[in-house]
A and B are shown apart, each in its own frame.
Chain A
Amino acid sequence: MGMMTGKEYIESLRALNHEVYFMGKKIKNVIDEPMFQPHIHAAAMIYQLAHKPEYEEVMTATSHLTGEKINRFTHIHQSIDDLVKKVRMMRLLGQKTGTCFQRCVGLDGLCAVYVTTYDMDQKHGTNYHERFKKWLVEVQKHDWMPSGAMTDARGDRSLRPSQQKNKDAYLHIKERTEEGIIVSGVKAHITGAINSHEILTMPTRTMGEGDKDYALSFAVPSNTKGVTFVFSRQTNDTRRLDSPLDAGNPKYGIVGGEAVILFKDVFVPWERVFMAGEYDFTTELVETFAGYHRSNYGGCKVGLADIVIGGSGWIAEAHGIGTASHIIDKLTEMIAMSETCWSCTLACSYEGYKTPSGAYHIHPLLANVVKLNITRMTYEWMRLAQDIAGGKIITLPSEKDLDNPESGSLVEACFTGKEGYPTRDIIKMLRLIENMSVGAGLPEAMHGAGSPAAQKIMIARRGGIDKKVELAKTVAGIKEDKLFEEIVGKKEQNHWKEVKNHIDGKKVQIY
């Protein structure tokens, strides 16, 4: 089986028949449900673009395990070029969907588990890496989308996982048997979970010796017995049941479509277990995943910025203010910020490195800077989009009012713009800007791939402040500056003594 098309991907989900709940109802089939369809279409774009010659270079790769052509979302980065192509792919998909396309979490999970299982086996003599590679070949062969399930519910965050009153606050091993493990617990906010074929779990934090049962990574099919999904709400989500116009981005939705995944006594065979108690590798797994994932945000969110900048430019034209200097200034600000984030993500890819497993990893410090910038700049370029679009984005009437034979034409006349810009097109664009700049997309930019505090911890840890202190001390003259002494040809204190004598002797020409 080769790479799926968008349509084939959607049909493949029909066969899943997994247990999904939303708004208190059990969902028979996710692909026929208008509430989920936009998210599914966004993920389907990944599959579709892989078949387009004009996008093939970034959307596909050659498997280092089988030599087969595969969707890049199942590929383990084998070079700096792969890392760069990954973020180019992220920007492309942001441009094509204007939203989160969800599959990157699983991709980053694949790469992080690949790197960590190799290191774990080197230290502990386990065989997780070989197991993982076998499963990975299946993922590549079937073009599966695995959701990356890292975040646990976490309960009282002042307590360690093993200290929680509610044991299910973290996914954990309940029992080990000869055939496998039995697990229970909760993974929360999992992007693309209900439209993924598999679930790849990872620990959410560093675990201690007492948390061995929580140091856990495995993969199961989404329709595994004991796995239940509860789809989460988003701002204005039920508007998609009212009308396409009101929804804003009716084709691809708003953010990724997150779900809570409940595991109750789920059996996982050993061949699908990639970490079971090796708490000393939880930090590496979490940080490797976080590094990969944070680097993405300078790709996908910049793709979204391309849409919102284009939308803002178009709406300014439609309102007849396209050439106003303050509009040009705001659009320029938006471009400068988004390209700054793009530069960061390219840099963290180009500065990547080869891990002992052979897989390439991004530059962790720079990747965290990418994400921290995104938590700020996305708000700023979306603020400017709101500024340009005007208050209409929060006061527009519904499509039903536009269609009302009694008042519709009068309402529509209120929103006419410049000649040549149909009113309904103006409303479409305003709704898109509303969808992207007012809704769930903003906190997603803040907290997706970890909150700003998490990035700052990594930046502080890897920023090399002690080396910067030494640099400053040298330039300030607190520490010996050998290079300066070579330049002046004497000890620094002798140099300053001579300078003083020179001044005191009134030999300075300007005196």
Chain B
Amino acid sequence: MLWVGIRYCGGCNPQIDRTGLVEKLKEETKKRLLDVAFTTDRDRVTDITLFVNGCTHGCLEEEFLRTGNQRPYLSVKGETVGDNYIAEKDIPAFLVQEMIRQLPLFD
């Protein structure tokens, strides 16, 4: 079982549907029979953190990097993931690929 910690930004002026995206990500992992669980419980130890930022500014990632945290993470910032422009509809599939790439155990 791989645990993914979900963090949402404040969503003041989102360019994407943040919660809808996470729902689709959950469906995508289910469809691909991946042994993965999602949590928003901040006290739970997770394998990877997924930042769901509504816009390209990505305040969650900014805060995370400022603390010098080295733990693995993926960051959705509007219609970008990391350094890639990804259309909103394609983000869930892209995230799954990225998880597989970053965490070999996941495959």
Q: Which residues of A come within 8 Å of B, CB atoms?
A: 80, 119, 351-354, 356, 361, 363, 365, 462, 464, 467
Contact = CB atoms under 8 A, between A and B. Distances in A.
Interface in B72-101: 77, 80, 83-85
B57 A363 contact: yes
Majority SS of interface residues in chain B? loop
B84 A353 contact: no
A464 B57 contact: no
A353 B15 contact: no
Contact of A353 (B13, B14, B17, B58): B58
Nearest to A358: B83
19 contacts: A80-B62, A119-B85, A353-B55, A353-B56, A353-B57, A353-B58, A353-B77, A354-B58, A354-B83, A356-B80, A356-B83, A356-B85, A363-B55, A363-B56, A363-B57, A462-B15, A464-B14, A467-B14, A467-B17
A351 B57 contact: yes
Interface residues of B, number: 14
Contact of A464 (B13, B56, B77, B84): B13
Interface of B: 13-15, 17, 55-58, 62, 77, 80, 83-85
A467 B58 CA distance: 19
Contacts of B58: 353-354
Given A353-B77, A356-B83, A356-B85, A365 B13 contact: yes
Nearest to B15: A464
Nearest to A351: B57
A351 B13 CA distance: 11
Contacts of A353: 55-58, 77
Contacts of B55: 351, 353, 363
- Residue of A119, A351, A365 most packed against chain B (CB within 10 A): A351
Nearest to A366: B13
Contacts of A354: 58, 83
A352 B62 CA distance: 11
A464 B55 CA distance: 11
B18 to A, nearest CB: 11
A82 to B, nearest CB: 14
